[in-house]
Chain A
């Protein structure tokens, strides 16, 4: 039997334990069919929608004389309005699953420092979200461009900004949802509040004809993401859009971190 104690020496640094914990989180994520399935569905749905619906309808509208030309990468990005829900659900379940099954106790027993636990989950989900976003724009652009034909023509910069935009957005969205999951601790609550944030709020607030509410809508995550990916300048540019997304992530993940630190497991 080992009587050796792993010493709390400074040389064992935070980065090392974060990396170890992130590897464990990766194993857990890919060990669950539900989570892998949600990611696969999200990719499939987004690409299929871009090809079938938006690309084809852009072509149909264009053929009928409407000016709907939109670069193909941005057409794919538009389908993320729906596809993002799969990635958000995966991020929510990655944490709430542990609360519902009681395995959060094992997680915190093995990584008792709450900052490391949270950091590991955040790193994994942000990286997965980013890769999914970039990947699906790069892959999805081909079929969408084919189905939209000349109405989906695009330049290299469109492709880069749309894929980076989607990657950053899905990465940061995953962090926001991780925060919500830590606050709610149950799957239904976390998923519903995530849907409310990215789909519900923009629609509900739209029907309130008050100036500041309309301004607020522009700063919701989905709007900021669109502005970032399309490189628009009104009402604010991509740099501000990125800051808006980061602010949302910091706020929600921060709230989740406080909840993890202060509440009993």
Chain B
């Protein structure tokens, strides 16, 4: 029994590491590499944001996850450049809360969790956010989700693989049947 448990645990751990490592190995150099790393963010925070983004929008059949477009750098960059100034500290406090919640619930850091656990934890965090978030203002997960969703669905793989992107439609058709499985337009 014990042996089986530890084997299962070992397999699970190997799997999750393979998963997290896979996210990192799969990062294309082109997506955000052109952008300087935003000031005020540690590599660990950026990495945590990428894993969170990839948990929100994981790889599914036919399209990669948000981790594949280095979403952490985009979230950090957009928080630093295109958001009200308090957004950076809001997100960073959120990262600390997510990390603390992970240790409380699963006795490990967020990055070390299995994909399913990460997903469960973010859903839990989103729901109980009111008690964790700063007394007033936004839930820290809101700007994280906002920029993750924007960054992913406007990325080339997000727009062209997860969605349908037609840069030059040529015309407008006002009524076309929507078949099950048809995806939404990227723009």
Are chains A and B native binding partners rather than an unrelated pairing? Answer: no
List residues of chain B with CB under 8 Å of any chain A CB: none
